[in-house]
Structure 1
Amino acid sequence: MEPYLQFHAPLPFYTNLSANLYPCSFISKMTAFMYNLFAFVISCLILILSCKSRAKRLNLPPGPPGLPVVGNLFQASRSGKPFFEYVDDLRRRYGPIFTLRMGTRTLIVLSDAKLCHEAFIEKSALFASRPRENPTRNIFSCNKFTVNAAVYGPVWRSLRRNMVQNMLSSSKLKEFRTVREHAMDKLIDRLKAEADANDGVVSVLKNARFAVFCILLAMCFGIEMDEETVEKMDEVMKAVLITVTPRIDDYLPILSPFFYKQRKRALRVRKEQIDYIVQFIEKRREALLNSGSDRSVMSFSYLDTLFDLKVEGRKSPPSDSEIVTLCSEFLNGGTDTTATAIEWGIAQLIENPDMQSKLFDEIQSTVGDRKVEEADIERLTYLQAVVKELLRKHPPTYFSLTHAAVEEEAKLGGYDIPTDANLEIFLPGISDDPTMWTDPEKFDPDRFYLGKEEADITGVRGVKMMPFGVGRRICPGLGMATVHVHLMMAKMVQEFEWSAYPVNGKVDFSGKLEFTVVMKNALKATIKPRVSG
């Protein structure tokens, strides 16, 4: 779930490489495109030769041989596999740390717990930054003015401190308990209505996503929104995510002139995003000036912390466009990650009805017939084990946020890590490591519930799984994420018995990468209301 606040702004562009590098409309143009590409080879070779002596001095991790100029870029796209499967194959061949050259970008991929501990715990300050990006792709981040995209330095410290202390601390999260309760009631009502209209069949991801998006909207803007407004805001957020999907000029910036139409569209989407969200920013400003006159206005929101935010090294508070960027990060980061976790969690409970029964029995014995509340979660130990195993087995993103070294002579695992390299963490390589876990392919909450195995998801007591990242750039929304996942799972199991659709069907656990790693076939389930008493 790293990071819960995308918390990615947005997901790393390369994680959906093989799915997005060559969209269908693009394939028909590839022959002409390759001729155009060849025209640039000579000029690129000059750059290669100038860098050759430096490259010889670097002791980079091993990796597959690549082509001149493009490196491994086309090999990855022609593999016919999602990028995370391509990486999984390479780590088995080259080991827990290897190098991929993707055009002008160098990717160094980690898939080992000890290496991650060395990089992000032992040497946390050394690998706490973010890599440079194609400047034309920074439209939506206001030149990295976000918690997760900012380079390691004063801007990042200011933004993160504000988010953690003034919004995501345990005391601040408690202020939004009523918001969560209202969203959970709405979720249950939507599921009941959909089941009544479809012979008991419901869509899991869609409903979970709507519920968590409502929570985050209220937390972000401090204003209640009707369903139509929620859906419109969701459309705006999705348009942003779609616009920043991968392009080949992300890897070969010299080709950027060929993508002027895409840049023009990105500017248009950005303008629409700003125009739409600024009206809610202004509404909140007015509400704060007239506090107490509008019952739909909450007493506190993330937006409130941004109006007069003091950023180190700057004399003025964030502009409206920067506030839009920070709000969008908050919304986009927390929505799909949580909803994806819920989809995989319900799928596992359907596939393992004994686990579902055990969880329901724990809720009944602990809570009784009243509605489960947040205060109950700390007593629901089997629920906690289920969620922990869920985050181990199905992290919503397979790649943690990209890191970068802050010093030229950084070393990791005995290898050189240049400052312009993307340091990537392949999470399944850690959470599925058979040397660290018993039967890692098996979904088994008892490994935690019975104390047979343990793992600290913060990485403080060692790295065995890191769905939220670890170290200085650990996801600031970890606490909020776990509250949402625990509460939604408990509510959905308390209210309904979940079974497969079609009846007696098998759940397909293959995944695909969209904004997160979702189920390849969106989960539909049959629900039956529990009999109270």
Structure 2
Amino acid sequence: MTLLLVVGRGLLRRAPPIKEMRARLAAVKWALQKCFSTALRQDVVITDRATAHRLLVRGGGGGAFCNRPPTSAASSVLSRQRHHNIGSAPYGPLWRAIRRNLVSEVFHPSRLRLYAPARRRALRGLLADLREQCTSSNVALAAESMHAALFGLSAAMCFGDGVDAGRVRAMADAMEDLIRSLVGLSVFAALPALTELVYRKKWNKLVALRRQQEELYLPLINARRGQHHRPSGEAPTYVDTLFDLLVVDDNCSASGGNSPKQRLTDGELVGLCSEFLGAGTEPAIAAMQSVMANLVKHPEVQEAVRREIDAVIGEDAEEVGEEDLGKLEYLNAVLMEALRLHPTVPSLSRQYDRVVINQAHGLNFLFTRKVIPEDHIVLDGRRASAGTTVQFPLERLARDKAAWADPDEFRPERFLAGGEGEGVSLVAAAGSAGEIKMMPFGAGRRMCPGMGVAMLHLRTSGTSWRTS
């Protein structure tokens, strides 16, 4: 009896408090409900270009296709989908405020011109690195050099000049570790509460990586906060534009509360800066790698790019000025063809939010899940439940034989005068004839806000191929 009492007291001492146990059970209950409701929904894949235009561009005007499925962004996962960045925020006041700030205060052409000196420094550093590698070993690791140059440029745009090179490398390494920890763990996005309980070690690693990011970013953020008022004519940093930004808490608004506007917290600032660095580097590097792979496969194309650059700036010129980038028509055609064949993301995802579309065509339904009886949208005579995830496979849409001759072939000439790609825009307008030939940056209200700066960086870095 004494032994049983001793063991019983030990078990009671080790047992978690009642409140903690109730919280864990509530988390498991919510996760299971979420899991079952998700399993009962269907996915839809859009493979018709006219339907994609109708749903994303014209249908998106009502807000039905302006939301994305739960994201695995670290800020969203760790806050259980309460704190968001531009890519993950639901369509609403918060998303509009932070996206408008980025587009008008950083990515506007008049602001981008102020970053020209930083771009020149990044390009010169990239060229010097490539030359040094070629001199020492006759082999240049172009992708790694471009990644370092672009990440450094993004860090300068985010935090200003003078960020220690060692800290920039540490931020890049932390970003890579964070991305690797999230890849393949989509359950983090859909079921964060269950993930925290079941995948405890992975969750703790994610928390540690996020803490490391905060330790790297917050000193830079606080340093900029201390010199918030910059001299006129100086390029604004991204974090500068966030200090005075007032946003509405979407969680409070959604629950019917009267939410006052408030400034962003330090955690939200870290999340937005992390998104800025990642989105400003990783997609561009993926696009560059696809371009370089095609240049290696087609040396005649690389030689044509070299001849065009020499003709525009002269064979003896060291670098291409940004004022000459618009004259490089063949280089632009190479970039467009690479983006058509190899979009930086394989698929675009949206969620239905409410009934605004009565009929559409060209749908492939994946009936691996049942439709549950709830608010629905009728598509091509078939029911699709509200909240259904809709996939737009970008590569498949851009390789439509009805739009392109030999769509699987790498032919930059198709984007020159007289080709079937002449005049093709990366932005699908609502008033257009319903034609989307390619959308590597998405379409509709949720298309990538950094498309302009991404193309500028691609053209600028593309001139380095003349040297490499």
TM-score, normalised via structure 1 length = 0.69
Determine if the alignment matches structure 1 residue 206 to structure 2 residue 179: no
Determine which of 286, 295, 315 is the counterpart of 1:349.
295
Question: Residue type matched to 2:141 in 1?
Answer: S
Question: Residue type matched to 1:479 in 2?
Answer: G
In 2 relative to 1, CA 210–143 (structure 1 residues): closer, same or farther, beyond 3 Å? Answer: same
1:132 deviates by: 4.1
Query: Which moved further from structure 2: 182-191 or 374-383?
Result: 374-383
Contact 1:144 1:151 in 2 (8 A): no
Determine which of 231, 237, 247 is the counterpart of 1:301.
237
Question: Residue type matched to 1:472 in 2?
Answer: R
1:252 deviates by: 7.9
Determine which of 97, 107, 118 is the counterpart of 1:179.
118
Question: What is the correspondence of 1:421-432 to structure 2 with a 5 Å cutoff?
Answer: 421-432=388-399
Contact 1:129 1:404 in 2 (8 A): yes
Query: Which residue of structure 1 lines up, in the alignment, with residue 247 of structure 2?
Result: 311
> Whole-Å Cα distance in 2 between the matches of residues 394 and 180 of structure 1?
25
> Whole-Å Cα distance in 2 between the matches of residues 275 and 412 of structure 1?
49
Describe the superposition over 1:79-125 as per-residue Cα deviations: whole angstroms up to 9, x where unpaired: xxxxxxxxxxxxxxxxxxxxxxx856643222331221111112012
> Whole-Å Cα distance in 2 between the matches of residues 265 and 46 of structure 1?
24
1:278 deviates by: 0.3
CA RMSD across the alignment: 2.8
* Structure 1 alignment gaps of length 5 or more: 1-39, 52-101, 497-533
In 2 relative to 1, CA 456–46 (structure 1 residues): closer, same or farther, beyond 3 Å? Answer: closer
Contact 1:243 1:266 in 2 (8 A): yes
Determine if the alignment matches structure 1 residue 449 to structure 2 residue 385: no
Describe the superposition over 1:175-233 as per-residue Cα deviations: whole angstroms up to 9, x where unpaired: 101100100000011111122222x1111211111111111100011132233222111
1:450 deviates by: 3.4
Describe the superposition over 1:338-383 as per-residue Cα deviations: whole angstroms up to 9, x where unpaired: 1111121122122212212222111111111322111111111111
Determine if the alignment matches structure 1 residue 328 to structure 2 residue 274: yes
In 2 relative to 1, CA 453–139 (structure 1 residues): closer, same or farther, beyond 3 Å? Answer: same
Determine which of 385, 408, 427 is the counterpart of 1:458.
427
> Whole-Å Cα distance in 1 between the matches of residues 72 and 350 of structure 2?
16
In 2 relative to 1, CA 447–320 (structure 1 residues): closer, same or farther, beyond 3 Å? Answer: same
1:140 deviates by: 6.8
Determine which of 171, 174, 180 is the counterpart of 1:242.
180
Question: Residue type matched to 1:495 in 2?
Answer: T
Question: What is the correspondence of 1:113-132 to structure 2 with a 5 Å cutoff?
Answer: 113-124=49-60, 125-132=63-70
Contact 1:109 1:425 in 2 (8 A): yes
In 2 relative to 1, CA 383–281 (structure 1 residues): closer, same or farther, beyond 3 Å? Answer: same
Query: Which residue of structure 1 lines up, in the alignment, with residue 16 of structure 2?
Result: none
In 2 relative to 1, CA 279–135 (structure 1 residues): closer, same or farther, beyond 3 Å? Answer: closer
Determine which of 187, 204, 211 is the counterpart of 1:264.
204
Describe the superposition over 1:277-323 as per-residue Cα deviations: whole angstroms up to 9, x where unpaired: 1010011122336x57xxxx964101111001021454321011100
> Whole-Å Cα distance in 2 between the matches of residues 135 and 340 of structure 1?
19
Question: Residue type matched to 1:316 in 2?
Answer: Q
Question: Residue type matched to 1:357 in 2?
Answer: E
Determine which of 363, 366, 370 is the counterpart of 2:309.
363
> Whole-Å Cα distance in 1 between the matches of residues 309 and 190 of structure 2?
54
> Whole-Å Cα distance in 2 between the matches of residues 275 and 155 of structure 1?
26
Give the percent of matched residue pairs that are identical in Structure 1 and Structure 2: 28
Question: Residue type matched to 1:389 in 2?
Answer: E
Query: Which residue of structure 2 lines up, in the alignment, with residue 493 of structure 1?
Result: 465
- SS at 1:108 equivalent: strand
Query: Which residue of structure 2 lines up, in the alignment, with residue 469 of structure 1?
Result: 442
Question: Residue type matched to 1:404 in 2?
Answer: Q
Contact 2:66 2:446 in 1 (8 A): yes
> Whole-Å Cα distance in 2 between the matches of residues 141 and 445 of structure 1?
44
In 2 relative to 1, CA 360–405 (structure 1 residues): closer, same or farther, beyond 3 Å? Answer: same
Query: Which residue of structure 2 lines up, in the alignment, with residue 59 of structure 1?
Result: none
Query: Which residue of structure 2 lines up, in the alignment, with residue 387 of structure 1?
Result: 335
- SS at 2:270 equivalent: helix
Determine if the alignment matches structure 1 residue 433 to structure 2 residue 400: yes
> Whole-Å Cα distance in 1 between the matches of residues 339 and 208 of structure 2?
37
Question: Residue type matched to 2:246 in 1?
Answer: K
In 2 relative to 1, CA 197–46 (structure 1 residues): closer, same or farther, beyond 3 Å? Answer: closer
In 2 relative to 1, CA 376–134 (structure 1 residues): closer, same or farther, beyond 3 Å? Answer: closer
In our comparison, the structure showing a higher alpha carbon Rg is 2
Query: How many residues are matched?
Result: 395
- SS at 2:148 equivalent: helix
* Structure 2 alignment gaps of length 5 or more: 1-27, 249-258, 355-374
> Whole-Å Cα distance in 1 between the matches of residues 353 and 88 of structure 2?
14
> Whole-Å Cα distance in 1 between the matches of residues 286 and 145 of structure 2?
11
- SS at 2:410 equivalent: coil
1:47 deviates by: 8.8
1:134 deviates by: 8.7
Query: Which residue of structure 1 lines up, in the alignment, with residue 453 of structure 2?
Result: 480
